[in-house]
């Protein structure tokens, strides 16, 4: 009986391919759009994700998201260190500055200042150079995008100079960091040096990065810090999501992508579902014949489900590989870094596709069950 089902499915080559490609393209459309959306949104929290060594961020109580910062006082750092359960705490500066290349090209850059003695939170994926050389005076690390903007098409070379707020700085390392939302270059330097680059303000400590002592849940420590200092303390992932939600709520991006994803879902469902439904309807005669020779309804339902699964699996496999190929080809593009096919998207798309084919076959099954075997013998 399985063989009969397979033969029925592949008997008409055009319908067979039509079904497969309908499912493949809706798979591609859904997984691709959702991946790009996820990539774009996770970019907003790139600087949080880049900090791999501290898991708690402390900030002003009214901070909304990563990019708008009200500085803490220097003494807050020591108050946080005094809270039991804090293994260590270090300052972090995040601000903006303008960098000018040797040929006069300039760009706004994100300036990160990491604790002088520990360099906590510095990116670890070093493309070229040595991150510990940041301890030298007037030295910076820059991300690949920044380097390629200021020195387009040139090989990675250290000790080149940039002008940062009228100060000449040397590049001592080129790092691979997560892309910021608008893909600005990111400059990493020491905390005190970053303060000098941006000029004098009274309070400049943007964040305090902290770590909980082993065995203490981070959630409890963030509560303790908030209690004792009146500041806001979040874990990295909480802060990342808070930042992402800020962009979701205050920009048009989710609406735009949401519509695309929903359209992909609807188109995929409708096309795949309808094609499969029509395929079953057209094969009603064959099912009728099978019923006439005494095949049970259950057997027929099994056949239809098998057909749906085969078509769904082949379509999904081809569709998801199209997405994978797309992201494979864009991996080397620095401006598109961070966009990738997420495992969760792969799983979600699979679930959606199989739900679609299951629904479509369910509709068809109803027609086959209520079918009178005699219909075969009518004209």
Partner 1 sequence: MLKYLMPVLAVFALAFSLYSVRRMTPSVVLAQPPSPPPAAAYPNQLGAVGLIEASSENIALSLPVSGLVTRVPVTAGDAVRKGQLLFSLDDRDLRAELALRQSAVALAQAKLIRLESSPRPEEIPPAQARVDEAKAQLEDASLQLRLIESVKDPRAIRQEDLLRRRRGVEQAQARLAQAQSSLALLQAGAWRPDLDIARAELKQAQAQVDRILADLARLQVTSPIGGVILQCKIRPGEYAQAGVLAQPLMLLGQTATLHLRADIDEKDASRFTAGAPATGSVRGDAAKTFPLTFVRLEPYVIPKRNLSGDATERVDTRVLQVIYRLPANTALYAGQQMDLSIQAAQETR
Contact residues for partner 1, defined by CB under 8 A = 10, 13, 16-17, 20, 52-55, 73-75, 77-82, 84, 86-90, 115-122, 124, 131-132, 192, 195, 200, 202-203, 213, 227-228, 310, 313-318, 320-321, 323-325, 327-328, 331, 340-343, 346
Name the residue nearer to partner 1 (CB basis): 4 or 325. 325
- For 191-339, where are the E strands, in sequence order? 207-212, 232-235
Quick check: 128 and 142 in contact, CB under 8 A?
Answer: no
Among left, alpha and beta (phi > 0; psi -120 to 50; other), residue 156 is: beta
In the complex, least distance from residue 268 CB atom to partner 1, rounded to whole angstroms: 17
Q: Which are the contacts of 298, defined by CB distance < 8 A and separation ≥ 6?
A: none
Stretch (H or E) spanning 366: helix 343-369
Judged by DSSP in three states, 314 sits in: helix
Minimal distance in Å, beta carbon 168 to partner 1? 22
Nearer to partner 1, 57 or 327 (CB): 327
Q: Which is nearer to partner 1, 134 or 184 (CB)?
A: 134
Give the pairing type, strands 106-114 and 186-190: parallel
* Closest residue by Cα to residue 301 from 282, 285, 280: 280
Positions of E strands within the chain = 56-59, 86-100, 106-114, 126-129, 139-143, 161-164, 167-175, 186-190, 207-212, 232-235
What CA–CA distance (Å, rounded) separates 357 from 73? 59
Q: Judged by CB, which is closer to partner 1: 62, or 200?
A: 200
Among residues 177 and 269, whose Cβ is nearest to partner 1?
Answer: 177
User: Closest distance between partner 1 and the C-beta of residue 319, in Å?
Assistant: 9
Helix or strand holding residue 326 (H, E): helix 297-330
In the complex, what is the shortest distance from the CB of residue 157 to partner 1, in angstroms, rounded to a whole number?
Answer: 23
128: left (phi over 0), alpha (psi -120 to 50) or beta: beta
Q: Shortest distance, CB of residue 5 to partner 1, whole angstroms?
A: 13
Residue 4's Cβ-side half-sphere holds a number of Cα atoms within 13 Å equal to 12
Strand pairing partners for 235?
56
Q: Both tokens of residue 178?
A: 């997560």
Between 62 and 202, name the residue whose CB sits nearer to partner 1: 202
Longest dimension (CA), the chain: 92
Of 174, 175, 169, residue with least CA distance to 97: 169
**Shortest Å, Cβ 52 to partner 1:** 4
- Residue 16 or 277 with smaller CB distance to partner 1: 16
CB of 265 to partner 1, least distance (A): 20
Least distance to partner 1 from the beta carbon of 302, Å? 19
Choice between 85 and 254, CB closer to partner 1: 85
Measured from the CB atom, the residue of 21 and 257 that comes closer to partner 1 is 21
Smallest gap from residue 341 Cβ to partner 1 (A) = 5
């Amino acid at each position: 009986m399985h063989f009969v089902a397979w033969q029925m499915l592949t008997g008409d080559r055009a319908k067979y391919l039509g079904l497969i490609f309908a499912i493949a393209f809706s798979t591609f459309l859904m997984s691709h759009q959702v991946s790009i959306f996820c990539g774009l949104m996770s970019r907003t929290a790139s600087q949080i994700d880049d900090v791999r060594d501290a898991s708690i961020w402390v900030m002003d109580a009214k901070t909304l998201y990563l990019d708008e910062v009200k500085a803490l006082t220097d003494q807050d750092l020591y108050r946080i260190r005094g809270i039991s359960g804090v293994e260590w705490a270090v300052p972090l500066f995040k601000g903006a500055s303008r960098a000018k290349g040797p040929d006069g090209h300039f760009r706004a850059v994100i300036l990160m200042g990491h604790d002088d003695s520990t360099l906590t939170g510095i990116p670890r994926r070093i493309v070229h150079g040595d991150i510990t050389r940041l301890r030298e005076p007037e030295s910076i690390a820059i991300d690949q995008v920044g380097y390629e903007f200021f020195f387009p098409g040139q090989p990675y070379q250290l000790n080149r100079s940039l002008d940062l707020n009228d100060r000449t700085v040397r590049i001592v390392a080129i790092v691979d960091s997560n892309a910021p939302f608008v893909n600005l270059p990111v400059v990493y330097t020491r905390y005190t040096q970053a303060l000098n680059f941006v000029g004098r303000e009274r309070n400049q400590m943007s964040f305090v990065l902290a770590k909980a002592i082993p065995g203490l849940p981070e959630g409890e420590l963030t509560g303790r810090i908030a209690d004792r200092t009146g500041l806001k303390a979040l874990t990295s992932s909480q802060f990342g999501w808070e930042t992402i939600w800020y962009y979701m709520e205050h920009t048009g991006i989710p609406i735009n992508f949401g519509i695309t994803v929903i359209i992909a879902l609807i188109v995929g469902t409708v096309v795949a579902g309808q094609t499969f439904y029509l395929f079953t309807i057209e094969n009603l005669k064959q099912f009728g014949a099978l019923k006439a020779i005494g095949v049970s309804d259950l057997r027929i339902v099994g056949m239809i489900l098998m057909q749906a699964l085969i078509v769904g699996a082949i379509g999904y496999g081809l569709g998801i590989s199209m997405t994978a190929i797309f992201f494979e080809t864009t991996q080397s593009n620095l401006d598109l870094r961070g966009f990738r096919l997420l495992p969760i998207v792969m799983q979600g798309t699979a679930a959606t596709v199989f739900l679609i084919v299951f629904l479509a076959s369910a509709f068809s099954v109803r027609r086959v069950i209520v079918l009178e075997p005699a219909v075969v013998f009518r004209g």
